[in-house]
Structure 1
Amino acid sequence: MILVTGGTGLVGAHLLLHLVENEDAIRAIYREPKSIDKTKSLFKLHQKESSFSKIEWAQADIIDVPSLENAFQNIDYVYHCAGLISYDPNDENLLRKINIEGTANIVNFCLAYNIKKMCHVSSIAALGSLASHETQITEETEWNPETPHSDYAISKYGAEIEVWRGHQEGLNVVIVNPGVIFGAGFWNQGSGTFFSAIKNGFPFYTLGSTGYVGVTDVVKIMTQLMNGDSTGERFIVIAENSSFKKIIFEIADKLKVKKPTIEAKPWLLNLGWRLDWLVSTVFRTKRKLSKYSASSLLNEDEISNFKIKNALNFEFQSIDIVIQEVVRLQQ
């Protein structure tokens, strides 16, 4: 039997959609009953409502050890997709608890229950920083603790350390490091906010860049790695590097809305995160733009996807097609 943590999130829900086509026994973790509706809606969106009943749901929380006992009964393989994504500095402790402590709990249960293999969903945020002689970030690029990192990045890096600990103790593991993931069904959270914000007239763009990938490609790669011989390895999962401007303009085109017209230059971003801090402090609201996230919007480091393409002979779907598909399904 397969266990999926984070079955009500973007990657976990799409993974379940993929697994029900090929697997007989699947169990997914949820925290609140209403959160399952998001996954059910995704199945409905893809006209696979009849397959939804194949999933066995278990109420548990990755930071609540007793609740995981029942979830791990009779499990052979684990896809660990659960985690918190936040760039709000006020969420530092929560990020560490969910992403690091939660992953440690999953690893410990995998070891205790002799799980055959675990796939951990990390992030390109957990990758290393380019040294002066390097031109591309790869799986081997070293993490530099002296370089500024977001709390989210630190928590995902810490989660990977827990996975490597599990591997040293005998657990077969693979780690995937996706870039910004686009997929249908989650319009108002995570990367889905790219679409909702632009549809609502978001006016800014930047010339920085990062790696992007479609969620369907992510889950295909995850299952191929789990079914293959790879263990003790991590794989960057991006289709392409692209500028925020190009992606934002492409989304605006597909949505048939006005493109943003204001380039957020460094001085504007610096002003923006300071104003955001002030508003957050005075009105006790969630941070929308931190100092680190403002800086990352100007980053132009190139990320390599050579290893995964070579390992699986994998051809990624172009991001233009992914965006077109997301818009088609959501509208």
Structure 2
Amino acid sequence: MILVTGSTGLLGSHVVVELLHKGYEVRAMYRDPIRKEVVFRLIEFYYPSEKETLLQKLKWFQGNVLDLVDVQNSLIGVSKVVHCAALVSFHRRDFNSLFKVNRRGTANMVNFALDSNVNQFVHVSSTAAIGSDSQYKDGLKRESNLWNPNDEVSGYSLSKFSAEKEVWRASEEGLPVSVVNPSVMFGPGSWEESSLQIFRTLNKGLSYYTKGSNSFVDVRDVTKLILKLIETEKTGHRYLVTGSNLSFKQLFDQICKQLQVKAPSKLAGPFLTTLAWRLSGILGRIQGTRPTITKESARSSHSDSKFSNEKLLKDFPDFEFTKLEDTIDVTIKGRME
């Protein structure tokens, strides 16, 4: 039995479906019953003729990684864990919640896994947990980068870095662990959530872009690596899972081309984005809603972040990343309202 936490998120739902398709029995940990529909719809999207067969191997478990009793019970009879559950936010007001869910929740999972029969713990981290200090001079961030405490980072980045520290601490205590660090993920799912909001925003119309860059990857590729780690039982390693390093302008142009909408054409400099997050914050307070742009998200939109996937490709030479145009295509076709 394989336990998947965060089973109704973009990555977690894909991991559940692909594990089922590979013949594994899966216990899917979730919080909101309404969210279970995501897994059902993914099965219908990828394997409609196998729906009934796949669902026979799926066991649902309602629980919270912050509840010690839930965590303990979720691990009964489990041999492997894929820990996808996490909070993603760039709002300063969520700083404490980020550390509760991402660090404390992860600590709970590995602590109880140490006292159970778990023989592999796959932790889903993020490129946000990769440090900036490197021995290389090519500008690419790697798994070997060291964390620089003087860097100005988001609360999310700090919480994911701290969560990894819990995982590696558990590794020292005897838990076989694997860590994956995906970049910004795209794939079938709701455009109202996570990184897929980029598609929603561009589809509605966006005039401005920034000079920043990042790495983008197909959620199916991240899922593929997780399954490879499980099948090979490879532990003790950390892998960046990054497909294409692109500027935001390049990404927006490609997405808009396939959406058949006008691409952003006006460059927004630091002054304009600073003004935008301040106005967004004021409007949010007036309306009682969360601002759409935060100080941290505005800053990251100007940062030039590029990552290397050479370690992954060296250890798994048969691994192939999906072309970005195919990723965009399936993200559009797999949109969930």
Which interval holds the TM-score relative to the shorter structure?
Answer: over 0.9
- TM, length-normalised to structure 2: 0.94
Counterpart CA distance in 2 for 1:240 and 1:234 is 19
Once the 2 structures are TM-superposed, how far is the Cα of residue 302 of structure 1 from its aligned partner? Answer: 2.1
Once the 2 structures are TM-superposed, how far is the Cα of residue 168 of structure 1 from its aligned partner? Answer: 0.6
Q: List per-residue Cα deviations over 1:176-227 (Å, max 9, x = no partner).
A: 0000000102221001111111111122222211111001110110111122
Q: List per-residue Cα deviations over 1:132-175 (Å, max 9, x = no partner).
A: 96322100111111100100001100110010011010000010
Once the 2 structures are TM-superposed, how far is the Cα of residue 268 of structure 1 from its aligned partner? Answer: 0.8
SS in structure 2 of the partner of residue 302 of structure 1: coil
The structure 2 residue matched to 1:303, chosen from 293, 297, 307, is 307
Counterpart CA distance in 1 for 2:230 and 2:286 is 48
SS in structure 2 of the partner of residue 174 of structure 1: strand
1:98 lines up with 2:67 in the alignment: no
1:196-211 matches, within 5 Å, as: 196-211=200-215
Counterpart CA distance in 1 for 2:95 and 2:129 is 15
Tell me the equivalent position of 1:11: 11
Contact 1:130 1:136 in 2 (8 A): no
Shifted more, 273-282 versus 159-168: the winner is: 273-282
Contact 2:214 2:304 in 1 (8 A): yes
How has the CA–CA distance of structure 1 residues 132 and 279 changed in structure 2, closer, same or farther, with 3 Å as cutoff?
farther
Tell me the equivalent position of 1:56: 59
Contact 2:187 2:334 in 1 (8 A): no
Once the 2 structures are TM-superposed, how far is the Cα of residue 246 of structure 1 from its aligned partner? Answer: 1.1
Q: List per-residue Cα deviations over 1:89-148 (Å, max 9, x = no partner).
A: 111111110000100011011101131001000000000014596322100111111100
Tell me the equivalent position of 2:247: 243
Counterpart CA distance in 2 for 1:229 and 1:39 is 25
Contact 2:199 2:255 in 1 (8 A): yes
**Equivalent position amino acid for 1:85 in 2:** V
The structure 1 residue matched to 2:236, chosen from 211, 232, 239, is 232
Q: How many residues align?
A: 331
Counterpart CA distance in 1 for 2:246 and 2:203 is 20
Tell me the equivalent position of 1:2: 2
How has the CA–CA distance of structure 1 residues 133 and 25 changed in structure 2, closer, same or farther, with 3 Å as cutoff?
closer
Structure 2 unaligned residues grouped into runs of 5+: none
Shifted more, 224-233 versus 64-73: the winner is: 224-233
Once the 2 structures are TM-superposed, how far is the Cα of residue 88 of structure 1 from its aligned partner? Answer: 0.9
Counterpart CA distance in 1 for 2:206 and 2:28 is 35
**Equivalent position amino acid for 1:108 in 2:** N
1:68 lines up with 2:71 in the alignment: yes
Counterpart CA distance in 1 for 2:24 and 2:296 is 44
Contact 1:27 1:58 in 2 (8 A): yes
Contact 1:89 1:287 in 2 (8 A): no
Structure 1 unaligned residues grouped into runs of 5+: none
Tell me the equivalent position of 1:280: 284
- TM, length-normalised to structure 1: 0.96
How has the CA–CA distance of structure 1 residues 272 and 117 changed in structure 2, closer, same or farther, with 3 Å as cutoff?
same
Contact 1:239 1:316 in 2 (8 A): yes
Contact 2:134 2:141 in 1 (8 A): no
Q: List per-residue Cα deviations over 1:214-272 (Å, max 9, x = no partner).
A: 01110110111122253222100001101111111111111111212322212111111
Q: Percent of pairs identical after alignment?
A: 37
**Equivalent position amino acid for 1:26 in 2:** V
Tell me the equivalent position of 1:121: 124
1:140-151 matches, within 5 Å, as: 140-151=144-155
Shifted more, 44-53 versus 106-115: the winner is: 44-53
**Equivalent position amino acid for 2:88 in 1:** I
Once the 2 structures are TM-superposed, how far is the Cα of residue 279 of structure 1 from its aligned partner? Answer: 2.4
The structure 1 residue matched to 2:173, chosen from 163, 169, 175, is 169
SS in structure 1 of the partner of residue 106 of structure 2: helix
1:154 lines up with 2:140 in the alignment: no
**Equivalent position amino acid for 2:331 in 1:** V
